[in-house]
Amino acid sequence: MSLKSSMKKLRLEGFNNLTKTLSFNIYDICYANTPSQRSDYIEYIDDAYNAERLTQILEDVCNIIGANILNIAHQDYDPQGASVTMLIAEEPVGVPELSNSPEPGPLPDAVVAHLDKSHVTVHTYPESHPHNGISTFRADIDVSTCGRISPLKALNYLIHSFESDIVIADYRVRGFTRDVRGKKHYIDHKINSIQNFLSKDTRERYQMIDVNVHQENIFHTKMRLREFVLDNYLFGAGEEEFTPAQRRKIGAQVEHEMLEIFSGSNMPRR
């Protein structure tokens, strides 16, 4: 019997020690015209995503995947940025079986699993270009679990918790677990793309491309907002404050920045 067909009835010899890690970068891009506006943007980001706010986001993530928090370390940095790290563990919470189906993951009513040596981390990196007005905010997030449940359950929540213009996501399952017959299983749920775990509204909002290595259980998805409205990328100003020629130039700058981040390489300017 295949692993896919027997997933819910799989009997393991001991603990499920597969390690599942979701790592991704979330980017927010804006145009801040003056030094004062650029400074205000950094201050806004530092306030909106300080260590206290990030801690709350990661606590919500732990609730979504059904993890108990063992330890929290958090830090705000000078001049900007913040980090939060949580060690997590899992105890049974009252349902007999955990579904591993590749469906979008809202807050679950209850989950069963056993996590050990698992963690959730986030680090933020706000920065501003001193000359061309482009400012960016990057959040690096890792959700690593050991056991039956998947960190992908928290993917939609995390994307919506940040101002996500671009998302670069990686998911990998490492190691193996052994069933009662001694057979090794290198993955315990069906997946052919991270997109399987995205809600419909998320898939509709983003242009996405995949680079997957299925035989190695490595999945990579890049996401970029489909709709470009310049006013959404102006910080401390509105479109009406710029001439049509200025708006075209600023729009080209912002789109160029997004394209470079999305492609992962420097692009020639038009």
- Exactly one of 118, 135, 150, 164 is catalytic; which is it? 118
118 is catalytic: yes
Which class for 63: exposed (0-12), middle (13-18), buried (19 or more C-beta within 10 A)? middle
Closest CA to 201 of 226, 220, 219, 222: 226
List the beta bridge partners of residue 40: none
Give the integer Cα–Cα distance in Å for 92 and 243.
61
- Exactly one of 123, 129, 185, 256 is catalytic; which is it? 123
Closest CA to 189 of 137, 146, 149: 149
30 is catalytic: no
What the block records as the tokens of 261 is 């981040």
- Exactly one of 144, 146, 164, 189 is catalytic; which is it? 146
Helices of type H across the chain: 35-48, 51-65, 155-161, 200-205, 244-263
Give the integer Cα–Cα distance in Å for 255 and 81.
25
144 is catalytic: no
- Residue numbers annotated as active site: 118, 123, 146
